[in-house]
Structure 1
């Protein structure tokens, strides 16, 4: 968000008005029946764009065409095979643009328009424009040929059992991955465009009759209020549509897995797909969704329930283990056995720092090693993070800078973080450790209790598109606890009851029936 001094605001407002007036004039501008004039219009619009190609075609000295396209955005072989060759072969019959559309174009969707802005937008989306002498209507045909990444397993959400394909940077491909799993006309897809310069296509997807209409309207309304020059990733949109942008907890779920997106749609949620990014946003999100993995529903339910409780246990370790160590060793030594106190005291005898500084130091080192492991090349990252942690930890203990118990506690904390399946959710948990360490180092257990109460007050008051973040624990809904604390068998799973439009049994036919 831009900030302005009061003296510069009027100048900025005038610039915005001038820009909007120019855009409005360009939007109303139309082509003429003079093909040379139309070519001049396009050259003015794409001035200094060397990748815009112009191909003049003249047949029998009386039919003249101009084909305009952006290099690398279309498949030139398809252009020659399905557009130019049929045009030349049928040149004697093609007298008008209507004949051209009916007889000459055999591949891809076609559009006809006189509006300059429409043709420019189509060219930027991978269309080829066909200008006909004596006609003010321009035809565009889709023969997109831009490179696409193949479907691979998502690196951010790996599973042992489950589908191996993930979303890619192509919006049409991502929608097809969802439609391939939901073969029902109830799956709705609505497009909007965001980004004044990027003109990024956004797709809003939901299941009609299952998702609340008010939720769909709210998602669309929040998206339409976004004003940006460019949208490069779904993260740009996420920050604009969150209820509380200053919260460490994500309020919109992001995923690379089509099966996760489909499961959320079946729950009555809304998916937001952004072109040029493989991460799909799901709204609303709850606290418990951050602790659930798609693999929970592909393995036996007793095992999935056990793993889910492991996550509940270790998320508490991730937040409270270092603060508890600091609080007990600094203020409450009487709470632990005498032998353990003597062992910890002996290990800390040569350490020159208090427990809080010691824990903060090793936590920061651990976070630096983790970040280095991510940013380094894949072949080196894992080795550097593991070897670096062992070498630095052992050297620091031998040098007397930190004690061995702190290394153990921080290592357990790091392992606990890796049990959280949602990366964006685990990032919020990582941040909470540092204020908790400060509270523990200054007020002991009283500080930990205050920090716990602060976290609980924040989480229970947080909302995501009107849905309470800690639901169904707060407010307590016994009917919905069956799939939060435990993973019931699939044949016992039901949809959330807070959607009055949805049917109870989610295993039923989504395409019709009562």
Structure 2
């Protein structure tokens, strides 16, 4: 991908800083070669990472001639029970004299851990220790053993917090990358399932995993996502959404070009249908791509319900999306510019409710919309019990108080509440946020240009969605499907026997040639 001007300036600034002050990286402080002295290697390791409180150094003597060795690990991110029982206790019990290469003998016969590798580079050893592994040094040896002991406390698997289902699996991803990958592996027992690992974060060095099914995903889509992932230059990743923002096609679009999920069954379903998933260590959310417009109103529960019920729910979500985007704008345009297009009774009712109001219609609806937005944000940030109370009681009290005080008319409160409810009918929070942002723009255009402005805003949205792409796939691909079977899983969800395995753009080129 193209490097941004900000990135280039940052690199130049970093180079100038290094020339003036010298680099602080581990690579510049530490020599790659190991010493044949255990104490020297442990001291080098301790100095390189700043002698933290959670660094544990342990000296042990093994063998008939009391051969000296040492281990180092960081508590909290390692499995201390494994270290005590499978490493320290095993080494102390094996007191026989070793034959041949002592380090090779210890690796093969004494350490009862499945993952053990030899390494002679101190810089790489430091990275492994920071990743939760244990390093083993032996006197008179210029190599070390890296023992797979990554672990520590992990959050238990529980229901997904952001995606509730009435019928479906109750497992959700957690912050541990290993656990998340295991959950996907449990759902997809296919030898073609691939996990491609990357290291992201110049300082945090977090693991990122690209998940896909090799003989299902389109090779062009796979090539594109790999190219973009390899271009990531971030110091620290807090959530997979930062990866989404880095690799998305258009950063100026309000609509998400990847979708986040906490559900292993959702990831398994999409990956088996030609999409890819991106996991980041330390977050329970997984990014899915590519995305098309019809995906924003789909839920995994649709496939667990009968097709008629699922289709009605999807149609309801489409209607709710249109209400969330255009209802306030339509009201503003009709009241301010085109009251003659409304039924006479409705015009008189609106005029009566607005009698004596100190503000214009646009000022009223903007005020109430901003108030409801603040209530929604407060409900999210506060503790769950208090947040629910604020969201429900606050909305009722403020709406009633505004009407009683003559600040807002009752119809404005109804429109604002209906719009807020409709915006959260989408299964994805990122889509709901996008609708909320676009809605304010449509309201302002309608306030200045009336119905003409509303139509103009609609055309701009259509043009934008038509030109928008997600990893080279047109965002509007399924709006007007070119093949009949694509209708079976679009706005409606056809019978399970009629739903095609994949959309055409997701099909592997090898399958298309058959």
Corresponding position: 1:397 with 2:403: yes
| Residue 111 (structure 2) aligns with | 105
SS in 2 for 1:193: strand
**TM-score of the pair, normalised by structure 2:** 0.93
Distance 2:495 2:326 in 1: 32
Distance 1:212 1:380 in 2: 47
Deviating more after overlay: 395-404 vs 211-220: 211-220
Corresponding position: 1:469 with 2:475: yes
Please say if residues 26 and 117 of structure 1, whose CA atoms lie closer than 8 Å, have aligned partners that are also in contact. Answer: no
Q: CA offsets per residue over residues 220-259 of structure 1, 9 Å max, x none?
A: 1111111111112111111100100111000011111011
Root-mean-square deviation (CA, aligned residues, Å) is: 2.3
**Alignment gaps of 5+ in structure 1:** 506-513
Aligned residues between the structures: 505
Q: CA offsets per residue over residues 476-502 of structure 1, 9 Å max, x none?
A: 444422210210122211121234527
Instruction: Call closer, same or farther: CA 1:4–1:129 in 2, change over 3 Å.
Output: closer
Corresponding position: 1:82 with 2:89: no
Q: CA offsets per residue over residues 5-60 of structure 1, 9 Å max, x none?
A: 99x98554334689789665568712121222212221221223121111111245
Q: Specify which of 485, 494, 508 is matched with residue 501 of structure 1.
A: 508
Corresponding position: 1:281 with 2:287: yes
Deviating more after overlay: 302-311 vs 493-502: 493-502
| Residue 186 (structure 1) aligns with | 192
Distance 2:7 2:33 in 1: 37
Distance 2:12 2:243 in 1: 28
| Residue 124 (structure 1) aligns with | 130
SS in 2 for 1:167: coil
Q: Specify which of 488, 491, 504 is matched with residue 485 of structure 1.
A: 491
| Residue 14 (structure 1) aligns with | 16
Distance 2:84 2:15 in 1: 48
Distance 2:368 2:342 in 1: 23
Distance 2:366 2:215 in 1: 51
Deviating more after overlay: 399-408 vs 27-36: 27-36
- CA shift, 1:439, in A, is 1.0
Q: Specify which of 149, 152, 155 is matched with residue 161 of structure 2.
A: 155
Instruction: Call closer, same or farther: CA 1:16–1:193 in 2, change over 3 Å.
Output: farther
Distance 2:478 2:424 in 1: 25
- CA shift, 1:402, in A, is 0.6
| Residue 133 (structure 1) aligns with | 139
Corresponding position: 1:207 with 2:213: yes
Please say if residues 333 and 451 of structure 2, whose CA atoms lie closer than 8 Å, have aligned partners that are also in contact. Answer: yes
Instruction: Call closer, same or farther: CA 1:51–1:86 in 2, change over 3 Å.
Output: same
Distance 1:337 1:325 in 2: 13
Please say if residues 27 and 115 of structure 1, whose CA atoms lie closer than 8 Å, have aligned partners that are also in contact. Answer: no
1:318-397 equivalences in 2 (<5 Å): 318-397=324-403
1:244-283 equivalences in 2 (<5 Å): 244-283=250-289
**TM-score of the pair, normalised by structure 1:** 0.93
Corresponding position: 1:53 with 2:56: yes
Instruction: Call closer, same or farther: CA 1:87–1:4 in 2, change over 3 Å.
Output: closer
Please say if residues 160 and 263 of structure 2, whose CA atoms lie closer than 8 Å, have aligned partners that are also in contact. Answer: yes
Instruction: Call closer, same or farther: CA 1:344–1:307 in 2, change over 3 Å.
Output: same
Corresponding position: 1:37 with 2:40: yes
Instruction: Call closer, same or farther: CA 1:234–1:137 in 2, change over 3 Å.
Output: same
**Alignment gaps of 5+ in structure 2:** none
- CA shift, 1:216, in A, is 1.4
